[in-house]
Amino acid sequence: MKLSICVVNYHSEKELRRFLESLTDYPPRCLFEVVLVHNGGQEEELRSLEKKFGGMMYIIHSRDNQGFGAAQNKAVQKAKGEYVFICNPDLEVDEDSFQSLLSFAEELPEFGVIGPQLVHEGGVIQESCRRFPRFIDLVVKRVEFLPGFKKRARHYLMRDRDLSVPTQVDWLVGAAMLMKRERFLELGGFDPRFFLFFEDTDLCRRVHVAGHDVWYYPDSIFLHAHERLSQKGWWPFSKTFWIHFRSALQYFWKWRGSGGGGAGFWGSFLV
């Protein structure tokens, strides 16, 4: 089998239905499967989806919600494809989304991760590739309208690069990532200590350490219905904020002293 599409559902059945319908309309032009990890949600709606799309979908029922990365690890372990497309359920597929992505992957046999262009409703391109962060960057991209922050945000979000062409980047948001299954497993998959957020940053960093490249490939386009959860609930300190904050501390502690965004734990807080 060429491709396994690995997706995690957590109370997102409506988005998942749209995603599966788009896959039915524009299926990859290769043998593929969908491996779904059900972390929680409406069981009746899930049974309806299983009835309609069960021919292309294998469902793993998780006893509890162990987080995005841990769930994706389960999906990839079960997957049969040469390639795994790790994604959120709030995507929609276009006619050439998978074909162009896989064609590019075939040209780069030693790649680590490839991420497509993600487009929000209304045609706004999501800034889904980044440079490795320092802690200050997590604040800067939310307050870049303030004097003195725009330059830092421009650097972190790679606005100084021409992203209309394939580009090697530091890391990609985990809403849509293509990897070779064996490479994902060789790297140990996502670090399950990251319940949500930074599991993608950490994985891409380990890809670089292993000597592989991370590519942003804008010729493959997926509609991404929602903005990233980390963009929501930042004030006044919602549950999402604290999950994000905890993952950030875990990431910077893990990579302390390693250079770049991990250049010393306290150093990573600085501009």
Q: Could you tell me the two tokens for 64?
A: 């509890």
CA dist 18 and 51 (Å) reads 15
For every residue of the chain, DSSP letters joined together read --EEEEEEEES-HHHHHHHHHHHHHS--SS-EEEEEEEEES-HHHHHHHHHHHTTTEEEEE-SS---HHHHHHHHHHH---SEEEEE-TTEEE-TTHHHHHHHHHHH-TT--EEEEEEE-TTSPBP--EEPPPPHHHHHHTTSTTSTTTHHHHHHHTTTTS-TTS-EE-SEE-TTEEEEEHHHHHHTTSS-TT-SSSSHHHHHHHHHHHTT--EEEEEEEEEEE-S--GGGSSTTTT-HHHHHHHHHHHHHHHHTTTSSGGGSSTTGGG--
pTM over 0.85: yes
- Alpha carbons within 13 angstroms on the beta-carbon side of residue 14 total 2
Place of tokens 């490839």: 114
Please report, for the chain, the start and end positions of each structural domain, with discontinuous segments joined by +.
Answer: 3-131+162-237
The total number of residues shown for the chain amounts to: 271
Q: What is the pLDDT of residue 263?
A: 46
- Per-residue pLDDT tens digits of the chain, which is 271 residues long: 999 999 999 999 999 999 999 999 999 999 999 999 999 998 999 999 999 999 999 999 998 898 999 999 999 999 999 999 999 999 999 999 999 999 999 999 899 999 999 999 889 999 999 999 998 898 886 787 777 788 889 999 999 999 999 999 999 999 999 999 999 999 999 999 999 999 999 999 999 999 999 999 999 999 998 655 545 545 556 788 889 989 999 999 999 987 645 444 444 544 4
The Cβ of residue 45 has, within 10 Å, a number of other Cβ atoms equal to 15
Q: Could you tell me the two tokens for 240?
A: 């999402």
Q: What is the pLDDT of residue 31?
A: 97
End-to-end Cα separation, the chain, in angstroms = 46
Q: What is the pLDDT of residue 264?
A: 47
Q: What is the pLDDT of residue 262?
A: 46
CA dist 255 and 253 (Å) reads 6
The Cβ of residue 254 has, within 10 Å, a number of other Cβ atoms equal to 16
Q: Could you tell me the two tokens for 14?
A: 């409506």
* Topology at the third CATH level for domain 3-131+162-237: Spore Coat Polysaccharide Biosynthesis Protein SpsA; Chain A (3.90.550)
Q: What is the pLDDT of residue 227?
A: 58
Q: What is the pLDDT of residue 237?
A: 61
